[in-house]
Amino acid sequence: MGIIKSLNGIFWGWLVAGILLSTGVFYTILLKFPQVRHFKQLFTNIIDGMKKKDGVSGFGALCAAVGGQVGTGSLVGVATALASGGPGAIFWMWVTAILGMPINFGEAVLGQIFRVKNKDGTFRGGPAYYMEKGFKSKLLATLFSISLILGIGFNYVMIQSNSISNAVTGVIDINPAFAGIALVILVSMVIFGGVKRLAGFSSYVVPFMALVYILIAVFIVITNFNMLLSVFALIFKSAFNFNAAAGGVAGYTIKEAFRFGVARGLFSNDAGNGTTPSMHASANVKHPVNQGFAAMLGVFLTTMIVCSCTAFVILFTGALDTGATGIALTQAAFGRGIPFGNMVVFAAMFLFGFTTLLADIYYGEVNLRWLFPKIGDKLITPYRILSCGVILVGAIAPVTSLWELADFFGALMVFFNVIALIGLSKHVKRVYMDYKDQKKNGIEEPVWDYEDFIKESEETTRSHEKNIKG
């Protein structure tokens, strides 16, 4: 574990942040600032995504993806960023979100065009699928799938279960085992229904829990409205504070603000780590760009809205001066803002953590099916049963060391995924230009010919394999 910890110190110091921010700049330039030019369309696009369709709707896939994004990072990560990097960290979280939006766009588009159809008519896809079918690298896809199954499908599932159990036992005096059993029952009711039930459940829960959390945060901000300009000034000033001549807020330098802001920003929205493409690939939409827009909106909502709400409440209430960190800091802030604020954070942590848990299990399923294509369908039920066992163990056992393993596999996922994202960027641009050209020609709702692209991709693969053998 000492080696893993040392490697994580290198990976999560500057390396992962540098790679992902560079990829964000690359995609921003490649697609000519889509997060700015299409910002209004991100919201109007969701209206069509809410329409009833066979399989999983674009809105359902977005909610399920956001359910996996909004969680520990939005409540705990923001508080940690503020405690470790100061108010300036929030500015760098915003920068990370802006550059993460086109990355998530590319991931969603690739997930859509290189997906495969399930027996029940739904779709599955993600990095392993576009690495093999598009990037022509089964080795890269294998390494990514193994990293995701171990890092997300098991480690994060156990960690998320432990966080939820702690949240419950922190306000209700019960044995953690009972909390774990209750969690297993709730999870089983959703995951054994497949991706349709997961998307349907998320379509109801995610908008509700996010709206309530945001409204409470907005109420706290409004009641302290006279501090708004000074808080914004503090964030921007702290983001470029090169000297730490004094203690407290003034003691944070640009180094701490940048490092923790970027790291926690990436942690909050999952842009670039290859998890959300699996959910976006399941969406039944007319054109891949429609889901690309949904993916960008997901990053905006998780980091620019939910994370900002958490940050503003902490800064407006002065809770940062308490010396608390993590979920304790968020609870202290909301407790100062409204009566029973700590209970609000508990409820949010439970619901956010629960939907993240569901998404993590699904991501494991998708990659398990890719690793074992012939028997993958038969492995899903045993995997779900095993996941329930992992949830129970996580609820009652300490999981401190698992964070190191989860971070290690998470870094590997980023490295493998970014290689494919850069290598397949021509396909992302091609799909994007096809959408724009149809719009320019007066087609109000552009349509992508998935079947023709699949045939073309398969012919390219056969030609590639023939050249290797030859």
Identify the residue with better confidence: 324 or 460: 324
User: Does pLDDT of 243 surpass 60?
Assistant: no
| Least confident interval from 117-126, 165-174, 178-187, 357-366 | 165-174
Identify the residue with better confidence: 326 or 190: 190
| Least confident interval from 27-36, 163-172, 288-297, 414-423 | 163-172
Tell me, what's the pLDDT at 203?
A: 72
Instruction: Give the pLDDT confidence of 299-318 residue by residue, as tens digits.
Output: 998 899 888 989 999 999 99
Instruction: Give the pLDDT confidence of 260-274 residue by residue, as tens digits.
Output: 888 778 778 888 999
Rounded mean pLDDT of 431-448? 94
Residue 284's contacts (CB-CB under 8 Å, 6 or more residues apart) are 53, 54, 55, 56, 57, 58, 123
Tell me, what's the pLDDT at 10?
A: 85
User: Does pLDDT of 171 surpass 50?
Assistant: yes
Mean pLDDT over each residue of the chain, to the nearest integer:
85
Rounded mean pLDDT of 17-34? 94
Domain-wise residue ranges, the chain: 36-460
Residue 356 neighbours by CB distance under 10 Å: 26
> What percentage of residues in the chain have a pLDDT greater than 90?
40
Instruction: Give the pLDDT confidence of 29-76 residue by residue, as tens digits.
Output: 999 999 999 999 998 888 776 665 566 777 777 777 777 667 667 777
Q: CB–CB of 464/456 below 8 Å?
A: no
Instruction: Give the pLDDT confidence of 397-418 residue by residue, as tens digits.
Output: 876 677 788 888 989 999 999 9
pLDDT band at 200 (very low <50, low <70, confident <90, very high): confident
| Least confident interval from 102-116, 173-187, 251-265 | 251-265
The type of residue at 440 is: K
Tell me, what's the pLDDT at 469?
A: 54
Residue ranges with strand state E in 273-366: none
Tell me, what's the pLDDT at 191?
A: 84
Identify the residue with better confidence: 182 or 50: 182
36-460: in CATH 1.20.1740? yes
Q: For residues 355 and 350, what is the distance between their CA atoms, to the nearest angstrom?
A: 9
Let me know if 321 is exposed, middle or buried by CB neighbors in 10 A (0-12, 13-18, 19+): exposed
